[in-house]
Chains A and B, each alone.
Chain A
Amino acid sequence: MRSRILAALGVAALLAVVAACGGGTGGGGDGAAASGKPSKGPVTLTWWDYFGYSKEGNAAIDGMIKAYEQSHPNVTIKRTSYAYPDMWTKLNQTIATDTTPDIIAMDGGQIPTYAAQGALLDLTKWTKGWPVWDQFYPQIQQSVTLDGKIYGVPFRSNSVVLWMNEDELKAAGVSKTPTNWDELRAAAKKATNGQHSGICFPATKDTTGMFPLLTFLWGAGSDLDSLGDGGSVQALSYLNALVNQDKSAPKSVLQWEWDDVAAQFTNGKCAMMLNGPWEYPAVSGSSKFKWSAATIPSGSAGNAAPLGGEAWVIGKSSKHPADVWQLIQWLADNEHSFKPIMSGLQSFPVRKDQRGLAGGDWSPIVPVVSKQVKVARSLARYGKQYGQIATAAETMEQEVLTGAKPPQEAANEAKAAIQPLLPQG
């Protein structure tokens, strides 16, 4: 127990020790490599991702790495796959000690934060004049851009959709797929009984909870910069009605992450859920009922959900940025990566030249999620202080869902906290 003296203090100690041992590794990204060409001699690149969560994801990444090593015999890639939350802790340590991996598969929502911390290389000089760059959809480009500089090359996109347990909904007398908020609330209420809840979604105090929260805020025509307005109160009241009035969503959603929600759904404990296509392997593999997916039911201002996805980024300490860029260009070639990324990582096209390519139709949910991805919005517009913004916004949602504060009061308080954190202008 003694060794657990404050986890955080421990991390600080670790950083200090690593720094002391590593002494003088500063000044990463040596001049030679910064402007240079890919090496001819042997190069070892370190690669980090968090795609070990599924067999399919692992196989897709390993397959691409193997193919690259075969076509580039001088390059060796050392891949490490972390659990999602662990990767950020580990990454923070390497940034502080200037020992970042060369290439990282980074969550688009985190890119502005890490770019602002000086952890990522600016790729603008390479993307300029690269014909592939213009093929990316505008909101995908926006997701990797901070202050006009480009920090990543997107390769995966997704969003959140409504998943339905057809058997339970049918048994509850719900025959029509909910298309708006009223229908969703009514269906959820009908489908709630002693055995299962009507609808589940994560409402955790972190960036996961932000996905459903933003979906409802945007659906009501509000946003994080206008909290306190009618739309935000409407969205919060709606969530409150689901959880506290109708009790069609269990209060446990305040602790449930994506995987917890998916586990409840596959076990028949939630008749509907808001979740992303990344749960497709889990749901299709273990559910014993008929299920389907639909786009998010529309609020008064339509239907929108956050854009999720990852981009390849180069760590600031990379000694071989030109080699990494060569690797990223190879990875951006549809010939090499389209199929494994789409089906292995449950992804959707990120570029115009990927439309209609063979391999994009990897599951029956593809048409539905594609529709949702088309109207998805990037989180990059919330800027580099998104972490703090998310804390304040989630505190607001949790205070409403626990009944600690009425929607209007919670929204006003969150507004005061969030306003100074948003990018100016």
Chain B
Amino acid sequence: VTVLSELAVRRGAERPARAWARRIARAAMPYLFVAPVVAFLGALLVYPVVLNVVMSFQDRSLGNLVSGPAHWVGTSNYTAILRDPALRTAALHSVVYTAGSVAIQFVVALVLALFYSRRFPGARAMRSLFLVTYAIPIVVSAQVWKWLLDGRGLINWALDGVGLQSQPDYWLSDTRLALPALIVVQVWLGIPFTMVNLLSGLTAIPQELHDAAAIDGANAWRRFWDVTWPLLRPTALAATILSVIFAFKNFDLIWIATKGGPGSSTETLPTLAYRTAFEEFLFGKGAAILDVIFAACFVLALGYILALRREERLA
């Protein structure tokens, strides 16, 4: 009897223990699944960002960039960049470049998206052709644009051909023209992305709503303003925020086309950071500038996530 009862007691004790283990395993399962992602992001994203922030408080050279002792210099890298007029100029250029290119690109992309959302022969093929520009590496398009915009390039040749130019414009060698010229290239780069996003937003709007509005007597403008636009707005916002991030941190185009010149007329925060860190070997100061860019992109990214959430809620 005692043996039996003991067994019963044991079994009773075992049962909750096994249940506990199972419960823990079940609770841990999702974490195990995300662990690789967390490790991956930690190694490739968090570690460099933290390293960068640490470096911005140090005086580091190439020799002790990654390992080895480095002087802590407090916030002097930050005070140095804040006092540096070059940073203010670069920040201003970054804002003008980003705002200008995103605004123009959005309007053009919206018109194109509205056009290509209609059904007509070849619409699909032409729509996909737009993505070709998106697929070209920026280094390639930047080099091509550098040639096109040269004083002896195709653009001047064409302008001259139609009689719009008496003297060649040196688009990239003129302090007043260089930034606007690069904005145009950035617009060209950004249109496909924005257009595809807006198109997907447009196709998600049910045709019945348009039909109903049309029956109610709404003209094309009213149909756009009261039906299309409110439903497109979340997509538009998300696409705009992403475009802002892309334009704000675009480095390759500007570096290849002008290196921030002539003078410092196209110097933006990314080119300034690159020059400071990798041409002047002031890694601490370069890191401080990168942190400013990172903070700006981070805020924008938060905005993007909020916009996405809203879009999901509305959908």
Contacts and interface: CB of A to CB of B under 8 A. Distances in A.
Interface residues of B, number: 57
Interface string A401-425: 1111100000000000000000000
Given A7-B270, A16-B51, A316-B63, A269 B261 contact: no
Contact of B48 (A13, A388, A401): A13
B193 interface: yes
Interface in B246-265: 246, 249, 251-252, 255, 257-265
Interface stretch (B14-22, B24-32, B124-132, B279-287): B279-287
Contacts of B255: 7
A252 interface: yes
A204 B278 contact: no
Contacts of B206: none
B66 A8 contact: no
A19 B274 contact: no
Given A316-B63, A404-B263, A8 B174 contact: no
B170 interface: yes
A67 interface: no
B286 A387 contact: no
B274 A255 contact: no
Interface stretch (B3-11, B94-102, B104-112, B144-152): B144-152
Contact of A17 (B43, B261, B265, B280): B43
Interface in A384-408: 385, 387-388, 391, 394-395, 398-399, 401-405
Contacts of A395: 261, 263-264
Interface stretch (A44-52, A89-97, A160-168, A297-305): A89-97
Contact of A97 (B44, B66, B193, B278): B66
B63 A391 contact: no
Interface string B257-300: 11111111100001001110111111000110010011001000
B52 interface: yes
B151 A250 contact: yes
A8 B254 CA distance: 14
A97 B64 CA distance: 9
B63 A117 contact: yes
Contacts of A6: 249, 251, 270, 273, 290, 293
A268 to B, nearest CB: 12
B290 A8 contact: yes
Given A4-B252, A8-B270, A255-B150, A401 B262 contact: yes
B40 to A, nearest CB: 11
B252 A119 contact: no
Interface bin, chain A: 35 or more
A20 B280 CA distance: 25
Contact of A399 (B61, B138, B246, B263): B263
Nearest to A19: B66
A1 interface: yes
A274 B184 CA distance: 33
A254 interface: yes
Contacts of B275: 391
A177 to B, nearest CB: 26
B2 interface: no
Interface in B81-117: none
B123 interface: no
B66 A118 contact: no
B44 A255 contact: no
A117 B252 contact: no
A332 interface: no
B249 A402 contact: no
A26 interface: yes
Contacts of A19: 66-67
Contacts, number: 151
B173 A251 contact: yes
Nearest to B190: A1
A9 B270 CA distance: 10
B219 to A, nearest CB: 38
B68 A4 contact: no
A159 B187 CA distance: 42
Nearest to A89: B278
Contacts of A114: 62
B172 interface: yes
A17 B279 contact: no
Interface in A97-134: 97-98, 113-114, 116-119
A12 interface: yes
Contact of A252 (B49, B152, B251): B152
Contacts of A32: none
A319 interface: no
B262 A402 contact: yes
Contacts of B279: 206, 387, 391
B66 A250 contact: no
Interface in A46-100: 89, 92, 95-98
Contacts of B172: 252, 254-255
For A7, A19, A92, A385, which residue has the most chain B Cβ atoms within 10 angstroms? A7
Nearest to A1: B246
Given A7-B251, A16-B48, A402 B175 contact: yes
B52 A9 contact: yes
B239 to A, nearest CB: 13
B47 interface: yes
A253 B44 CA distance: 40
A283 B125 CA distance: 45
Interface in A288-319: 316
B138 A4 contact: yes
Contacts of B154: none
A15 interface: yes
B190 to A, nearest CB: 9
Contacts of A16: 47-48, 51, 66
Interface of B: 43-45, 47-49, 51-52, 61-68, 138, 146, 150-152, 170, 172-175, 193, 246, 249, 251-252, 255, 257-265, 270, 273-275, 277-282, 286-287, 290, 293-294, 297
Given A4-B138, A251-B170, 13 more contacts: A4-B252, A8-B274, A11-B278, A12-B52, A95-B63, A205-B259, A251-B174, A252-B173, A254-B261, A391-B280, A394-B261, A395-B264, A398-B261
Interface of A: 1, 4-9, 11-13, 15-17, 19-20, 26, 89, 92, 95-98, 113-114, 116-119, 204-206, 250-255, 269, 316, 385, 387-388, 391, 394-395, 398-399, 401-405
Give me the 10 closest cross-chain CB pairs, A-B, nearest first: A118-B63, A251-B170, A251-B173, A96-B65, A205-B261, A117-B62, A13-B48, A399-B263, A254-B173, A398-B262
10 contacts: A9-B294, A12-B287, A13-B47, A15-B66, A26-B68, A97-B66, A387-B279, A399-B262, A402-B262, A404-B262
